[in-house]
Chains A and B, each alone.
Chain A
Amino acid sequence: MILDDIKSATIAGQKAQVENGVKRALEEGLSPGDILDNGLIAAMLVVGEKFRNNEIFVPEMLIAARAMQAGVRIIEPLILAGERKYVAKAVIGTVKGDLHDIGKNLVIMMLRGAGWEVVDLGVDVAPEKFVAAVQEHRPQIVGVSALLTTTMPAMKATVEAFVRAGLRENVKIIVGGAPVSREFATEIGADAYAGDAGSAVEIAGGLVA
C-alpha cells in the first residue's frame, strides 16, 4: 500500500521515491494528514528508534530526515489551508559561547519528523534570548545544547534565567550535548537529559504526555 511505500522510502532516505509516493498518494485521494501521520511521521519514529539502538547512524538519519522534508514540502501548502496539528512545541538552541550545531540540528530534525513544531534559535544563544523566545512562542519544551565543557556553565545560567523571569514552571528544559550527563542536568535544575537525537524525541514526548 502507498503509505507503506512512503514509509519505507523515508526510512531508507530515498528522497525521489518519497516525493513520488506522496504525489501518488494525493492523486489517489489520501488526505495530507493521513500521509503525514501514517507515512512520513511513522517513518521517522522508526528512524529514531533504529538510531537509538545503534542500528543506523547519523548519515542515515540525515538522509531520512531530508527525504521526509521533501515529502512535507509537497503536502505542507495543503495542510496549512486546513489546520496542521502539532504534537507540541519546542524552542531549541545551542548555548552562549558555543557555535556547534550538528547535534542540535539533529534533534530539531527528529522532533519535526515526529510531528513537533520547533523554533530554532541557532547557536551562541544568550540566556535572555531563550527567555524571550519562550515568552514569544510559548513552547512546552526548551532544548539547550552544548558541545564544550567550557560552555556547560551557560546551561546553568540559562536555567537560572528562566527562574528569574518567573517562567521556570511554564516549560520543561531538556539539555544535551557530548559532555553533558544526566547528573549534570539534575545538578543545574533541568528537567531532563537527552543523550542523542532519537532519545530526545522520546523524552520530550514523555514530558508533554
Chain B
Amino acid sequence: MTKLTSRERVLMALKHQEPDRVPIDFGATRSTGINAVAYNDLKKYLGLNPESTLLYDVKQLLALPEQELLDWSGTDVIGLPRLAPSMGLKVDRWKPGTLPDGSPCLLPEDFNPVTLDDGCEAVIHNGQVVAKRPGGGLYFDEVYAPLGDAIDEADLDRAGYPAVSDAELKYLADRARDLYENTEYAIVGHTGISIFEKGIKDFGYEEWLVKIMTEQDLVRSYLERLTEAYLSMMDRYLDAVGRYVQVIQANDDLGMQQGPLIPPQLYRELFKPFHQEIFRFIKKKQPGVFIFLHSCGSIYDFIPDLIEAGVDILNPVQINAAKMHPRTLKGEFGSEITFWGGGCSTQTTLTFGSVDDVRREVEEMMEVFKPNGGFIFNQVHNIQAGVAPEKITALFETAKGVRNYAP
C-alpha cells in the first residue's frame, strides 16, 4: 500500500476498510481531548512551555492541542471548534491567565468570572448566572434553565435556539480551508447538535426527564423548533465548510453507568425521528460526510436505533459501563458503526491504574476493535486532571506500537 495521508487513513477506517494502521485522535473533539491541567503537566514532562496553552473549552477545562503535541500524539484527526465552543466564550481573542492548579494558559478574552457568596465562580450572561464552578473545582456546570417553568408553547420562545452567525461562518470557513489545504488531517466539524441534551439544558435535568414522560406534546413542539433551527443552521454551516470536513460531530448522552438513562422505547418514539431528520438532511446536502455521535454511558440498548437514525460513528465507547463489553460491541455492531474511543477507560484504568495497566488495556482494546477498520483510537472521553504524563505517554506510545495492520 502506498503511504496514506491521515485524511485517507481516517476515511478508510470510517468506510470499514483496513488502512495501513488504526487512526489516532488526540483532542479533535470536546469529548476526545485533554484537561488543560493534565495537558500542562504533559507539556512540562515533554519540556514544552505551558504558557501557550489555549483553554478553548472553559466549561470542561480543555486545552486545544498545539502542533508539537499533535505531532507527538500521532493524531490523524483535527477538530474544527465553533467560534464559541463553551458558555458563549469566543476563542478568536486570548489573554494570559492561570488554571486551577496555578499553571499558566491563555484564556478567551471574554472570560471574566465573578466569585459568588457560596465560593463558586460564575459566568454571567445578560445579568444571569448561566454556569458555576465550585471553589477549587475544575468544571463549570450550566445552571440556567430558561424553560424550567415552561407550561405551554408560548413559553418555548424563551429558549435560545441553535444558530450560526455570518461572522462565525467566515471564521469557520477560513479555518476549515486552512486545515484542509495545509494539513493532511481528517477534520471534525463541531456542531453541538443535540436533541435530548439540549432539552436538559433548557428545561433543567430533572424537569426534562419528567416532561418527556408527562408532557410529550410540549416536548414535541420544542423538538420541532429545535430541529428546524438545526436544519437551517446546518444548511448555512455546510455551505461554508461542508467541502472541507469529513466528520460532523453531534452529542446526546443517553446512558448512565448502569443502563439507559431513558427507556429505549421512548428514545425510539420521541427522539429518534428528529435525529434521523437532522442526520438525513446533513448527508443529503453533503454526501460522503460521516455523523459522529458522542453518547456517554451504557448505551448498548440504543445502538440499533442510532444506526437506523444515521449515526456512523459512536463515541466515547464507555467500555466500563454496563453492557458495553468491547467484544460484544465489535461483534454485534462493528460492521455498521465505527467505534471512536474505547481505547482505555478514563474512569478507571487511565486515572487510577498503573502505566502497565494502561499499556495492557490499550493493547487489548486495539486487538478487539482493530479488525476490518471501523475504529479510531482514543481513550474513553477526555483525559482528566491529575493523570500522570507517564500514563498519557503510555497511552499513545502503546497505541502507535500496536496499530499497524498486517501488510
Contact = CB atoms under 8 A, between A and B. Distances in A.
Interface of A: 13, 54, 56-60, 62-63, 66, 96-100, 102, 105, 123-124, 148-151, 178-179, 181, 195-196
B134 A178 contact: no
Contacts of B139: 99, 148
B120 interface: yes
A60 B134 contact: no
A186 to B, nearest CB: 14
B210 A62 contact: yes
18 contacts: A56-B263, A57-B263, A59-B213, A60-B213, A62-B206, A62-B210, A62-B213, A96-B134, A97-B135, A100-B141, A124-B118, A124-B134, A124-B135, A149-B347, A149-B351, A149-B352, A179-B351, A196-B256
Contacts of A124: 118-120, 134-135, 137
A150 B138 contact: yes
A179 B348 CA distance: 7
Contacts of A54: 258-260
B114 interface: no
B190 interface: no
Contacts of A149: 346-347, 351-352, 384
The B interface, classified by DSSP as helix, strand, loop or mixed, is loop
B271 to A, nearest CB: 12
Contacts of A150: 138, 384-386
B261 interface: yes
Nearest to B200: A102
> Most chain-A Cβ atoms within 10 A of its Cβ — which of B137, B348, B385?
B137
The 8 closest A-B pairs by CB, nearest first: A124-B134, A97-B137, A178-B257, A59-B209, A99-B141, A179-B347, A149-B351, A59-B213
A10 to B, nearest CB: 14
Nearest to B61: A150
> Most chain-B Cβ atoms within 10 A of its Cβ — which of A13, A62, A63, A66?
A62
A63 B119 CA distance: 33
Nearest to A184: B352
B214 A13 contact: yes
Contact of A59 (B212, B258, B351, B352): B212
Given A58-B261, A178-B297, A178-B347, 8 more contacts: A58-B209, A59-B266, A97-B138, A99-B137, A102-B205, A179-B257, A179-B347, A195-B257
Nearest to B351: A149
Contact of A98 (B134, B258, B348): B134
A60 B210 CA distance: 8
B48 interface: no
A60 B136 contact: no
B84 interface: no
B46 interface: no
B9 interface: no
B206 A105 contact: yes
Nearest to A179: B347
B263 A60 contact: yes
Interface in B103-147: 118-120, 132-139, 141, 143
Given A99-B137, A150-B384, A195 B210 contact: no
A91 B170 CA distance: 53
A98 B137 CA distance: 7
Nearest to A196: B258
Given A149-B351, A195-B258, A59 B210 contact: yes
A58 B141 contact: no
B262 interface: yes
B210 A66 contact: yes
A123 B385 CA distance: 21
Contacts of B118: 124
Contacts of B206: 62, 102, 105
